[in-house]
A and B are shown apart, each in its own frame.
Chain A
Amino acid sequence: MSEAIALTADQDSLARAREEAYGAPLEALDVARPELFEQDVMWPYFERLRAEAPVHYCAESVFGPYWSVTTYDLIKEVDTSHEIFSSEPTIVIDDPDEDFDLPMFIAMDPPKHDEQRKVVSPVVGPRNLAALEPVIRQRVQTILDSLPVGETFDWVDRVSIELTTQMLATLFDFPWEERRKLTRWSDVTTANEESGIVESEEQRRAELYECLEYFTGLWHDRAGKAPGNDLISLLAHGEATRDLVNRPMEFLGNLVLLIVGGNDTTRNSLSGGVLALNLFPDQFTRLKADPGVIPNMVSEIIRWQTPLAHMRRTAKQDAVLGGQQIRAGDKVVMWYVSGNRDESMFRNADDFVIDRENARKHIAFGFGLHRCMGNRVAEMQLRIAWEEILKRFSHIEVVGEPVRVRSGFVKGYLELPVRVTAA
């Protein structure tokens, strides 16, 4: 690694962030500012909140007032108390647009959540995945074999996006040559006007309506055929969802849920793993000596990266949490990114340790009823990717600064310039 390249926030920015995080009055801290994540300097803010105010109220922010929950145990308490902390109307800190509300089962409480989730969950069930494994492995091999050894290229675009998009296209049985539409719709869904992905909210909505129209076509095609095992066929034939197409906004909401859920997350863990192994090169050496550690490393990558930084709940009733009085209607943000760095749960939590004993206990999938439905797909993709990477490359060197997403929700990378060396 060249010394001129800053793989994380450079020491000066981090020192300034630390000064600000500890210098400001506690009540003034606003950890949801997207630029903190873009610059990778949110860490000292979370560190202070965990130590001094694990349930913290921020009275003023661009997202309005909100509570931050930052320690492992308290996050788990909120996540498993769905009767107090509702997933409706949304699971992100930003409130939904009143005139463009997309209902989706991740943002529903029981019983509707359970009914809709059950329809699509078999496609990512372990049995179906086992059947898919050879196909996925072959596709991973093709992607890796096409990489230009010895030249600089963008790992995000050539590997992370391509692999997760192919997986998603497989699960949707989506027209193969048009699969990058899925990538685009995923990016557009989580875009805001600052992100540079769309130029305006109007453009964003127009593109999402295209997504709806495209999938409505696929729906009618699948509904007219015998039930298959892809996500659209399952929805079109499922008892709880077979009329979903007649509720276009809810159909679109569930589509973008499956698209973002299956795309942005694993994409950023695939990039994050490469970055982590560059930051902790001794771990790469250990990995090469013992590829058997890959399944555990996959959990550690997901912990270390935490591709979705938070999930938001809304209090349905007054409640006391960690000694703080929460009022009905308050916004409560569970910062998974902080819980996964909680020293009381993970020793030397900022370090990337491929054989960390309790890596599986990470909180990146959430706990309780809304626990990530695609967790086993994610793990399978990452496992296969690393198994095949090790067969081909002795090194993946990050040769330029990673470009991070400006968001406190999707914690990931827009670019990661690398060079690979053949094994």
Chain B
Amino acid sequence: MAKITFITHDGQPHVVEAANGTSVMNAAIDNLVPGIDADCGGECSCATCHVVVDDAWWDKVGGPSDREESMLDLNPEREPHSRLSCQIPVRDELDGLVVNVPEFQM
């Protein structure tokens, strides 16, 4: 179980509770957090669940896999701490996680 805070582009925090094993993307979708499209349904193949992980959490979350990297790389507006939220499994150590939702998904 983890508490996750999504900060949307307007600065608004959206705090949700998510069960272990689900993805950060699903936590957003299930709780109607705006700004996450997730067109492909969580298979790392559309890049529309893009989030930017808060600096303090980057080491715990970790970087993308090769496959995720290749999808992220298609986005001209990616940032150093960009991740696809469908590829971040929720786990206890991510309790308190903060991620930023970009203004646009691409």
Contact = CB atoms under 8 A, between A and B. Distances in A.
Interface of A: 76, 79-80, 110, 114, 117-118, 121-122, 125-127, 130, 360-361, 365, 367-369, 371, 373, 375-376
Contact of A118 (B43, B46, B74, B105): B74
Contact of B76 (A122, A365, A375): A122
Interface string B38-64: 011101111100000000000000000
Q: Is the interface of A mostly helix, strand, loop or mixed?
A: helix
Contact of B104 (A110, A373, A376): A376
B73 A367 contact: no
B106 A126 contact: yes
Interface in B63-90: 70-71, 73-77
Q: Is the interface of B mostly helix, strand, loop or mixed?
A: loop
Interface of B: 37, 39-41, 43-47, 70-71, 73-77, 103-106
9 contacts: A79-B45, A110-B70, A125-B75, A367-B43, A368-B71, A369-B71, A369-B74, A371-B46, A376-B106
A76 B73 CA distance: 20
Contact of A125 (B37, B70, B106): B106
Given A118-B73, A367-B45, A369-B71, A361 B104 contact: no
Contact of A80 (B45, B47, B73): B45
Nearest 3 pairs between A and B by C-beta? Answer: A126-B104, A122-B76, A367-B45
B79 to A, nearest CB: 13
Nearest to A80: B45
A127 B70 contact: no
B104 A130 contact: yes
Contacts of B37: 360
A125 B41 contact: no
Nearest to A120: B76
A121 B74 contact: yes
Nearest to A360: B39
B87 to A, nearest CB: 13
A69 B41 CA distance: 20
Contacts of B70: 110, 114, 369
Contacts of A117: 74
A126 B37 CA distance: 14
A45 to B, nearest CB: 27
Given A76-B45, A80-B43, A360-B37, A371 B104 contact: no
Contact of A127 (B41, B44, B47, B77): B77
